[in-house]
């Protein structure tokens, strides 16, 4: 069974620790669990200190397809939509031969070599504090990337739209009154922020009777969300969504590791190495046992063959002896 509270929390915090209680054979019994370290990470003294400013790292090298897309964008008309450009570039890339792709492969390797040398020089210039800050920055990048991946996976799985509070319904109502044409200003514009501030102050001054219609809307939306969530659970239990669920699980584990402190991360990696070593040992033992059984089977088969040959030869000799005597 799923825990809808956990899923709701995931969508709020964009941090999820997925744990599948099922094996690969039974995909119906799955559960989501959330670790408190994702939402309330322990702050160390180094984290409490103000972050040191570090120079920006060198730009990462482009892969083969990115270089090809860059060339395609130069050729395509400027009024073409971006999505169409990417799809067209992808079609052209799939139709290209290995010889045609070789040019971009060389460019990519050259860029990568330059990037590596620049990165080594950059890391050499950093001191201990800057290096720690750089590592933290990389961890944050991994976390944000994993969050985006999880969200995209949930979109692929048609995760239901989360319910909103009564305050949001109140703000929406005011927005409709203020902008009936539906053309809202930018979210971070000073005009919009000032209006929202006024509306929030007014919201706190409302009585329970005045808030009642918005609370009813929020309650209806909450019911809608949980109904859709129940349907989504059944959809997720289908075997075709098994691989997507596994991907979510792997990404959530990566997020957990990214949130760990350095000491705990080292322990985690050591533990992973031990587990990997055990798995490899088991596999090697299994292979050795299989080879032994195969050898035994071959030796038994060879013995049977020799025995059958010996029997045949003795039968032949006996026949010859009988013929001579007769």
113-122 pLDDT per residue, tens? 999 999 999 9
Rounded Cα distance, 69 and 98, in Å: 16
**pTM score, two decimals?**
0.46
Residues of the chain with pLDDT > 70: what percent? Answer: 79
Evaluate the CA torsion angle 163, 169, 173, 176 in order and state its sign: negative
DSSP string spanning 31-74?
A: EE---HHHHSPPP-HHHHSPPPP-PPPPPPPP-HHHHHHHHHHH
Phi then psi for residue 31, to 5 deg, are -140, 150
26-56 pLDDT per residue, tens? 444 444 433 333 333 444 444 444 455 788 8
77-124 pLDDT per residue, tens? 888 888 899 999 999 999 999 898 999 999 999 999 999 999 999 988
Would you kindly state where each structural domain of the chain is located, as residue ranges? 4-54+126-260, 264-326
Residues of the chain with pLDDT > 90: what percent? Answer: 22
Element (H, E) at 18: strand 18-19
């Amino acid at each position: 069974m799923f825990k809808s509270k956990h899923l709701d929390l995931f969508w709020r915090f964009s941090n999820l620790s997925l744990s599948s209680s099922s094996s690969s054979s039974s995909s119906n019994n799955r559960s989501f669990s959330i670790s408190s370290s994702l939402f309330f990470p322990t702050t160390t003294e180094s984290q409490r200190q103000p972050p040191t400013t570090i120079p920006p790292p060198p730009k990462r090298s482009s892969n083969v397809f990115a270089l090809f897309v860059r060339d395609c964008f130069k050729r395509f008309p400027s009024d073409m939509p971006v999505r169409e450009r990417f799809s067209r570039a992808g079609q052209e890339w799939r139709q290209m031969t290995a010889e045609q792709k070789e040019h971009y492969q060389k460019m990519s390797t050259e860029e990568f070599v330059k990037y590596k040398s620049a990165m080594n020089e950059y890391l050499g210039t950093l001191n201990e504090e800057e290096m720690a800050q750089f590592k933290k920055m990389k961890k944050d990048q991994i976390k944000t990337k994993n969050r985006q991946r999880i969200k995209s996976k949930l979109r692929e799985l048609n995760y239901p739209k989360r319910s909103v509070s009564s305050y949001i319904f109140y703000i929406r109502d005011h927005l409709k009154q203020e902008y009936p044409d539906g053309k809202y200003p930018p979210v971070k514009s000073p005009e919009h922020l000032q209006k929202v501030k006024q509306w929030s102050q007014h919201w706190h001054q409302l009585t329970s009777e005045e808030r009642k219609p918005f609370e009813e809307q929020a309650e209806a939306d909450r019911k809608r969300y949980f109904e859709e969530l129940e349907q989504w659970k059944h959809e997720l239990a289908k075997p075709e969504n098994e691989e997507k669920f596994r991907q979510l699980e792997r990404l959530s584990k990566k997020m957990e590791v990214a949130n760990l402190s350095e000491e705990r991360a080292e322990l985690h990696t050591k533990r992973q190495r031990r587990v990997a070593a055990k798995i490899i040992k088991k596999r090697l033992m299994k292979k050795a046992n299989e080879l032994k059984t195969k050898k035994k089977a071959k030796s038994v088969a060879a013995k049977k063959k020799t025995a059958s040959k010996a029997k045949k030869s003795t039968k032949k000799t006996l026949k010859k002896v009988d013929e001579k005597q007769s």
